[in-house]
Amino acid sequence: MKKGELIAEFAKRTEMSGAAANSAVNTIIDIITERLKKGDTVGITGFGTFSVTKRAARKGRNPATGDVIKIAASKSPRFAAGATLKAAVNPKKK
C-alpha cells in the first residue's frame, strides 16, 4: 500500500473528503517526524514505537576499489511493532 492508497482508505473509512484525509495523514507523519528529530520516542499503544538510534562512526570498504573509507556517525529512525500488531500479523494456529 502506498501513501495515496492509505489516504484513500482513510477517507473512505472516516467518511472524510480526500483533502481532509490527506491533511490528517500528513499531520500525523509531520508530528512523528518532528518528535523523532527532537530525539523523542513516539509510542502508539498496540501498534508500535518509533524511536531514533545512534550509529557509531566506523570503517567501511569501497567495493569498487577495496579502499578503506570512514563512515560518519549517524542517527537512524527505528520502528518496533507492538504486541497487538504482532499478534494480528502472526495469528495463532489451532
Q: pLDDT by residue for the chain (94 residues), tens digit each? A: 999 999 999 999 999 999 999 999 999 999 999 999 999 999 999 999 999 999 999 999 999 999 999 999 999 999 999 999 999 999 887 6
Q: Which three cell numbers stand for residue 58?
A: 566506523
pTM: 0.80
Q: Left, alpha or beta for 36 (phi > 0: left; psi -120 to 50: alpha)?
A: alpha
Give the residues across from 69 on adjacent strands. 60
78 neighbors 52 (Cβ within 8 angstroms): yes
